[in-house]
Amino acid sequence: MARPKPQTDPNLGTRIRRRRKQLGLTLQQLCDRAGLSPGFLSQVERGLASPSLGTMAQIADGLDLGLEHFVGGSRPSDALTRAGQRAQFSVDGSTMGYEALATPFPGSELSSYLLHVPPGFVSETVAHEGEEILFVLEGEVVQTLGDETFILREGDSLHYSGSTPHAWANRTGRPARLLWTGTLSVLGSRPKTHLPDIIPEMLPANLET
């Protein structure tokens, strides 16, 4: 009996090209990462060629993704995470804790995390493609968005384009807990852009609510 073919995203080429541009990679740069020829990868992105499973794994690795992002299916139960059972982790040694809420599946674009922000820290200012939504579950943070600064308290939210320079901080004496959702993949195996690392800084004295 013939072995069933793996399920792939019907818009595979479009997904690859979108992810490549999200990472700011040229076609040649992705080829260098994946060990492929530009001609072949160009055909894949345009839907004119179908990569083998091994080649798809190389492309996924070059895009800082797992093969499962493009190949295979997922069950509803795979997307379930339960309170108290999610492992907390940090990025690049930051003291801020993360809990992953989103589950990757073929074609998925959203990332979502619970952020545990320690008191007295402020992030670097970053800008990138995509969009983000912040929702304050507990505590208070200060969000700078372009030339404006907002104080966000429990129950407040903010939706913005990642291309607008942004930074946020917890200037209070107690931890804050945020729900972050966005179209930016922040914790790939070779992260080029991620949620801001927390660094100690003084905030501007004059803040607008």
CATH number of the domain where residue 48 is located:
1.10.260.40
Same domain, 59 and 123: no
Same domain, 102 and 140: yes
Same domain, 192 and 105: yes
* Whole-angstrom Cα Rg for the chain: 19
- 14, 17, 23, 26 alpha-carbon torsion, rounded to 10°: -170
The answer to whether position 191 is within a domain reads yes
Same domain, 103 and 128: yes
DSSP output for 106-138: TT---EEEEEEEPTTEEEPPB--SSEEEEEEEE
Same domain, 55 and 112: no
Same domain, 89 and 162: yes
**How confident is the model at residue 65, as a pLDDT?**
81
CA gap 162, 3 in Å, rounded:
43
**How confident is the model at residue 55, as a pLDDT?**
85
Burial 147-185 (b: 16+ CB within 10 A, else e): eebbebeeeeebeeebeeebbbbbbeeeebbbbbbbbbb
Which amino acid makes up residue 114? Answer: L
The answer to whether position 206 is within a domain reads no
pTM of the prediction?
Answer: 0.59
Show the domain range for 93.
76-199
Other Cβ atoms less than 10 A from the Cβ of 45: the count is 20
Same domain, 40 and 95: no
Per-residue pLDDT of the chain (209 residues; tens, 9 = 90+): 333 333 445 578 888 998 898 888 999 999 999 999 999 999 999 988 888 777 888 898 899 887 767 765 556 666 677 887 776 777 655 677 888 887 766 667 788 889 999 998 878 888 877 889 999 999 999 999 999 999 999 999 999 998 899 988 999 999 999 999 988 654 443 333 344 433 333 333 344 43
**How confident is the model at residue 188, as a pLDDT?**
45
β pairing state of 97-100 and 111-117: antiparallel
Instruction: Please name the helix (run of DSSP H) or strand (run of DSSP E) that holds residue 99, with its range, or none.
Output: strand 97-100
The CATH number of whichever domain residue 97 belongs to comes to 2.60.120.10
**How confident is the model at residue 33, as a pLDDT?**
92
Exposure of 38 in the CB half-sphere (CA atoms within 13 A): 5
CA gap 102, 100 in Å, rounded:
6
181, β-bridge pairs: 112, 133
**How confident is the model at residue 52, as a pLDDT?**
73
Number of domains in the chain: 2
Find, among 206, 198, 209, the residue nearest to 119 by Cα: 198
